[in-house]
Each structure stands twice: as structure tokens, then as C-alpha cells.
Structure 1
Amino acid sequence: MAKLYFYYASMNAGKSSTLLQADFNYRERGMRTMLWTAQLDTRSEGMVRSRIGLEADAHLYDPATDLWAEVTTRDPVPDCVLVDEAQFLTRDQAWQLARLADEAGIPVVCYGLRTDFRGELFPGSAALLGIADKLVELKGVCHCGRKATMNLRVDAGGGAVHEGEQTEVGGNDRYVALCRKHFSEALGSPT
């Protein structure tokens, strides 16, 4: 039986490279994959890209994309669906992906951030944490060597950003993966 998987982590934990390795493994066995990434991430330009230099073409989704329809109307339908930047999915899209696993029998593997720069769940991540058949935490590393679970947004000078929109596209220039202790110290006590 097909399952819905959610691989989550902080920034810089290897989510995209893990997705690309899974894509390679399926294709090496002669199976068809369908990759998706968020249109919101303007850095992607229709690609899933990893920091270690791997990349592959991907379909773009936005909040209006009906993933169920986009996948099931393909001829032939893919053997596996892989979704990068899954934190940007809507709740409905997460349920569409679950339906692909449950009704169409297509394994769906999602990769994304669990929380934003304030330590709050993204809507897509919250939905996937609630409904995925299998949750897998990928490990990022804080500068202290502990497991990084948080994403600190920083300004141009490297200072912690305390307020702003939940979503701001950026890489190492805008975000630092930290353990909870150093995240809390950078922001000041959240309580």
C-alpha cells in the first residue's frame, strides 16, 4: 500500500539532496517520478536544487494547484510523487497528496521545513505532521554541534529578525539553522 511520507528538518539539513537521491533511485529502477516545488521559491526556477550541486526539473505548485488532478490526469501516471518545499502546501493540497497515496496507490514523499523563523508551524507542515503515514526528521547541525531544529531569520548584518511575514525566500544569507537553545538566545526569551 502506498504511503504519504513527510521528511522535515531545519534549513541546511539535506532535504532537497535527499529528495533528488530518492528520485534517482526510482528512475534507476525504470520507474516514473513527478517532482514538485513551490512557485513561491523564485530561486528554484522550476528546479529542485540542492546546496551540493544536484538538481532536477520540477513542476511548480502554488496555492491554487490541484495536485490530485495534475498527477492523476498524466498519461502515464507517475510511480512516485516527490514534493520539495512542502511547508508551502495548503492544507487542502496536503489532503490531495494523501488521496494520491490512498486512492491512486502512488507513494508521495514530501520534504520541507517544520517551523518558520518564529518557531511556528507552516500550514503545509502542520497538515503533513497530522496526516502523514510516516514522519522522518532529517538532522541539521547547529554551530554548537547539537541538532538544529530551528530557523533563525537574520538581517544583512547577521542580526536576528524578530518580526515579519511568515514566508521570505532566502538561503544562507537570510537564515541560520540553530538548536532551540541558541535560537532562543538569539531572539531573547520568547516567553
Structure 2
Amino acid sequence: MTDGADPSRPDRVRRWTWPAGLLGGLLLVAFSLVPWGVSDQGVKPSVTGLGRVSVPGAAPEDVAFLEDLTRRPGLITVIVGVVIALAAALAWWRSELRWPAVVVVGIGSVVALVVAVVTLSDPGKHLFESRVTDAVDADTPIISVGYGLVGVLVVSVLSLGLMMSVVIIGRDGATEPTPDPDVASPADESS
């Protein structure tokens, strides 16, 4: 009788860990390039994690002025995303690099998570310099959360969870299974 555990589950997790880590790193980069903050008030501006401002119908010099006053927190997540993607690709390629990659991807995921949570707490304050938020002086937030920021948050949580599962599975599967002595191997056959 079996205890209900699926012995192939750790193998499936190990097989898909590094392609998923590579995808996670690339998604962090991609989500940094899309809106982190949007507004449905007035001219409906949006700002990406890298500080690219979009204001429909605004003059280019006004948009450039706003872009000069952005903080660009997504720059950190782009760097972290590239590092995570490289670490995952190397771990996928070379098995001896897997444990260092677990550490790199885990730390990178925590950094991206911290950036996302801090920015999520007040997008206007963390996406724009204080001169912009002080000039607006509104009772309601000047900008709300965009889908790029939510994407960074979700991907970083999933990447961190994936690395934690690798550590847990690695700890459980630390000892290699010994071959069954009743099963003959090709080396045992004599000619």
C-alpha cells in the first residue's frame, strides 16, 4: 500500500523549477515596463515602473517634465528580473549551479517583493518625487495601483514560493535512493 504521496511530484517540481524561474525573471522585467500607477482623474495619466509617463493629449514638454520627476522604482525590479532569469538559465543548464541559483532567485524575489509592497503602500509617493505630490495636495491619492505593480507583486511571491518548495523538496530528497539489490543492472550481467 502507498501512503498517498505521489513519488513523481518532486521530479515534476524539479523539472519545471528552472524554466519557471527563467519565465519569472522575464516577467519581472516585462511588468516593470507597463503601468505601475494610473489615474482616472483629469487627464488620466499613467506611469511605468521605469518612470515613463503617458498623458493622453498632453504636450511633450509637459510629459518630459513629469518624467524628470519620477523615482523609477521599477529599475530595481528590472535588474532583479535579469539576475533571476540568468541564475535560472544557468541552473537549468548546469545542475551544480542549482543551489547557488536557489539563493540568488530567493533573494532577488524578496527584493522585488519589498519594492512592490513599498510602492503599493502609496503609489503616488513612491512613483513621483515629493514636488509633484506636494503640488497636487489632494485629499485622495493622485494615482492608484496599475497592473504592472500587481504583476511584480504576484510574480515575486510565486518565485519565492517556488524556491521555498525547492529547498523543502531538496531537504526531503537529500539522500539519493539506493538501487534495489533484487534488480539486476546491465553491469551485473556477464557475457
TM-score, with structure 2 as normaliser: 0.26
Write 1 or 2 for the structure with the bigger share of strand: 1
Which of 1 and 2 has greater Rg?
2
With the length of structure 1 as denominator, give the TM-score of the two structures: 0.26
